[in-house]
Structures are given as C-alpha cells and as structure tokens.
C-alpha cells in the first residue's frame, strides 16, 4: 500500500516522496479518497497519526486545478504553533506545486500578514482571533474558499472559540467542503459539529485511546519532591528530547530555569511568551539545542518533534483526554516512546480513570528516597486530611487544601446556540 493508489498529481506525489512518507497511516488511508471526492469528513484519530497530511494532500491535489492567487482553502486551528505546523506541512508536501500558503495568528505584526495576503495566496492557516481581525479590516477575501478545515476541533471548542467560528463561517461561501480533524470528539461537540458538516463521512481510528507504542509509568511522589525526582530521572535515563508538562505558565517558566541551573539545556513554552520567543524555543527544541522543553497544555498543541523520546507529566493533566493529547507527542508514526507521570494523592480519581483507559499497559515505578507507596496516592482521594507519611512523626504527606485538578470550563454549546453558526440552521430561518 502506497500513496500512488490515490493517483495524486505528480508534483504532489513528489512532495510526499521528498518528505520521506512510505505508506499512508490509517487516518490518511481512510480519509484522503473521500476528501478528494469532495465529501465532508469528520476524522477522529489519536494524536500523532498523521491527521495533518490527511487533509493537506487532498487540498494540494484540488488546488492544482483552477485559478491561482485566491484563497481557496482555509484551515483554522486553536494555537499559533499548530497553524505554523500546518503551514510547514503545506510547504513541504507542496514544494513542487508552486502553491502559496500564509499563516494568520496574533502576537506578530499584522502589517507583515497584510503584505503577504496582498501577494496573493492559495491557502491560509489561521487562528480565529487574528483571522477575524483581518476580516474586520477588510484585508482578507474569503469569498473563494472551497475547503474549510477545523483542525484539533475538540480543543478549539474547549477553548471557547464557538463565537469566533460562528462569525468566520458567515464570511465563507455556503457551498463548500468542510473537514473536521481531531484527537477526541465528545458527544456534545460531535452533535454540534454534525450541524456544520453536510452528510459527512465519519472516520474513527481506534477509540481515542493513548498511543499504544508508548509505555506508561506512574511515579507516586510528594509534591515537594517532584523537582528532585525529575532531575533524578533526567540524570539516569537514556533520553533524546524530553517534553515536560506543567499545569501553569509560571511553573513551566520556573521549572525550566531550575533545570538550566542544574546543568540541563532546557527551555519553556507557555502563553506568556512573545511569538518570537515561542518560535526560538520550538526551533531550538526541534534541532536539539534544547534537550528538555517544559510546556503547558495549550502551548504544546502543535508541537511536532520526531526526536521526543519521553513525555513527563510533572503535573497530572486535568482529564484522560488531555493525557492522550500529551503523551501523543512521543511514540509518533509507529516509533516507541515513554510516558512518565508524577502522581500525588490529589490525583486519585483521574488515576483510576487512566488505569481503566490503559488496561494492562501501565506500571508503578519506584525511586528510592523520592517516591512513596502507591497505596498512599490511591487512597488519598477520600482521606487527604488523615494520611501521614509512615515514620514521619505524624506529618501530613499531602496538603488537604490543594485543589484537585478540574477540566477548564469551556463555553456552553447548548442547542439554542446552533442557529447562530450552523449553516443548516441559518437556511431554515
């Protein structure tokens, strides 16, 4: 099985060969033909399985015919990094096509973006906020868009982008092809997404479970011992590039600084950085100048680094779905990887969910002097204020005041909102 079966234009196929792609991944194999046939597609697959190429290749194929220099494909993503990743994939796979691509997102000069748009582009990869800014300024023309892609759709909806998506859709032609690609799709969002698509082909690869080429190890640890444990792991483990996740921006920054003082080449990626510094961090992590990147969940969307051998959850994610997203940064494209997760007593509920999700693909890990008994963490969910460290003179192991991790509150996607953004609902008014 190879990409030749899709009968791609020879210039598109040349890009596939130059990129080193040998055979389609399952999501590519099942979706490319439908997209090339003009069908709307809802593609659900694990992170790291090739969703980007699954929609980029059919778009390139379609745009080889017809007039150049008009925006005929619009790709909307939740983060700047993901928009850049898509843009880079377009440039790589479309190297021989002479199709032009541009990125639109905040944090950088709007003037440079306006100049790029004036040079006439074929594909735009954008974040909602800055795209609406250009629409308001009249500096972008979306009247020729033939294909709309919502990438990482679940995360986009979770971040509260529904009003922005609704406004953008109003500026697009009613007759178009719409594609949604995502790692997860909760039922509530799926129902609303179906309103945006017309008779879509539904493609699901796996059950949105964590990548099975990754080993999963859990380290029961006191909160105050996390940094020491991380340093010990980095010192004793054979790694390539390591991605460390924290729950907050301030912790990502401070932890990276501590690692640097400890002799590690570390950088951080979080929402408080300027776009230039974010790019410097990502570029340095990709080319190996930084061996460790400490990041938050939102900032890490779009990180596509083949060298990542380990993902370390310094802080537990808020949901099992977020765990899937995080560890999907390693073990990509059939490579193997390792996911290490630090667990405290406040993580007992999510720990049970992850055990159920992973089946027998996980194990506890012990490090003398740094970790504690797993039973302590497992029981802490209901006894946080009672447990003490064995032999610790009655000192509490974990503070009972620490709030448990909760999923960030997204905007409401009630049925009443559908009329404002569903083309189908608008036609009925």
Per-residue tokens: 396: 């509490």
Q: How much is the average pLDDT of 201-216?
A: 74
Helix extents (H) in 9-109: 10-18, 26-36, 51-63, 80-93
205, 45 in Cβ contact below 8 A?
yes
Domain 214-383 in CATH 3.40.50.300: yes
369 or 189, which is more confident: 369
For 242, the 3-state DSSP assignment is strand
d(CA 151, CA 346): 33
Q: pTM higher than 0.85 for the full model? A: no
Q: Please, what is the end-to-end C-alpha distance for the chain in angstroms?
A: 47
49: nearest Cα among 24, 66, 67, 68 = 24
Most confident of 227-231, 348-352, 373-377: 227-231
Q: Is 101 helix (H, G, I), strand (E, B) or coil?
A: strand
- The secondary structure of the chain in percent helix, strand, coil, rounded to multiples of 5, reads 45, 15, 40
Please tell me the predicted confidence (pLDDT) of residue 50: 86
**In CATH terms, are 3-208 and 214-383 the same topology?**
yes
* Range in 23-37, 104-118, 304-318, 401-415 with the lowest mean pLDDT: 401-415
Which residue from 121, 130, 133 is spatially nearest to 79, judged by alpha carbons? 130
Domain boundaries along the sequence of the chain? 3-208, 214-383
352 SS3 class:
helix
CA count, 13 A, side-chain hemisphere, 356: 8
Give mean pLDDT, residues 214-224.
93
Give 380's pLDDT tier (boundaries 50, 70, 90). Answer: low
Predicted confidence at residue 426, as pLDDT, reads 42
The upper half-sphere exposure of residue 83, i.e. CA atoms within 13 Å in the direction of its Cβ, equals 26
Q: Is the pLDDT of residue 9 over 90?
A: yes
Cα dist from 135 to 104, 141, 386, whole Å: 11, 8, 57
> Residues with Cβ < 8 Å from 107, sequence gap 6 or more?
80, 274, 275, 278
Q: Which two tokens stand for residue 115?
A: 């100049």
* DSSP designation for 38: T
Q: Give the length of the chain.
A: 429
How far CA 156 is from CA of 153, 161, 320, in Å, comes to: 5, 6, 17
Closest CA to 315 of 213, 227, 211, 214: 227
Say which residue the tokens 């012990």 belong to. Answer: 366
How is domain 3-208 classified at the CATH fold level? Rossmann fold (3.40.50)
Q: What is the pLDDT of residues 292-343, one digit of tens each?
A: 999 998 766 667 777 899 999 999 998 887 888 788 778 665 567 899 999 9
Asked if residue 406 has pLDDT above 70, the reply is no
Share of the chain above pLDDT 90, in %: 55
Residue 38 banded pLDDT, cuts 50, 70, 90: very high
* pLDDT above 70 (res 139): yes
Predicted local confidence at residue 300, as pLDDT: 64
Residue 84 has pLDDT above 70, yes or no: yes
């Amino acid at each position: 099985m190879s990409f030749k079966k899709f009968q791609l234009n020879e210039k598109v196929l040349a890009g596939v060969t130059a990129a080193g792609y040998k055979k389609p991944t399952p999501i590519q194999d099942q979706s490319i033909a439908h997209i090339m046939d003009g069908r709307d597609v809802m593609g659900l697959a694990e992170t790291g399985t090739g969703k980007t190429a699954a929609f980029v290749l059919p778009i390139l194929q379609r745009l080889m015919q017809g007039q150049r220099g008009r925006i005929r494909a619009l790709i909307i993503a939740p983060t700047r990094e993901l928009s850049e990743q898509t843009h880079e994939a377009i440039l790589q796979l479309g190297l021989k096509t002479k199709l032009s691509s541009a990125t639109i997102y905040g944090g950088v000069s709007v003037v440079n973006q306006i100049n790029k748009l004036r040079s006439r582009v074929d594909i735009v990869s954008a974040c909602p906020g800055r795209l609406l800014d250009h629409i308001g300024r009249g500096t972008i023309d979306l009247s020729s868009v033939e294909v709309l892609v919502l990438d990482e759709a679940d995360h986009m909806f979770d971040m509260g982008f529904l009003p922005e998506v609704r406004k953008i859709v109003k500026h697009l032609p009613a007759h178009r092809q719409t594609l949604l690609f995502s790692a997860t799709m909760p039922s509530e969002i799926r129902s609303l997404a179906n309103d945006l698509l017309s008779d879509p082909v539904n493609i699901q690869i796996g059950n949105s479970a964590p990548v099975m080429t990754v080993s999963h190890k859990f380290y029961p640890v006191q909160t105050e011992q996390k940094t020491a444990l991380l340093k010990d792991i980095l010192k004793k483990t054979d790694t390539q590039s390591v991605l460390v996740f924290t729950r907050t921006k301030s912790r990502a920054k401070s932890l990276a600084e501590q690692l640097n003082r400890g002799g590690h080449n570390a950088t951080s990626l979080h929402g408080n950085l300027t776009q230039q510094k974010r790019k410097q961090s990502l570029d340095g992590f990709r080319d190996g100048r930084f061996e460790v990147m400490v990041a938050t969940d939102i900032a890490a969307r779009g990180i596509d680094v083949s060298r990542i051998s380990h993902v370390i959850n310094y802080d537990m994610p808020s949901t099992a779905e977020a765990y899937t997203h995080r560890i999907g940064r390693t073990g990509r494209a059939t490579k193997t990887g390792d996911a290490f997760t630090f667990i405290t007593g406040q993580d007992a509920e999510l720990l049970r969910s992850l055990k159920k999700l992973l089946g027998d693909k996980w194990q506890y890990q012990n490090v003398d002097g740094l970790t504690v008994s797993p039973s302590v963490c497992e029981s802490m969910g209901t006894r946080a204020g009672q447990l003490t460290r064995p032999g610790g003179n009655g000192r509490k192991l974990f503070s009972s005041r620490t709030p448990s991790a909760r999923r960030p509150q997204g905007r409401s996607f009630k049925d009443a909102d559908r009329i404002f953004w569903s083309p189908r609902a608008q036609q009925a008014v």
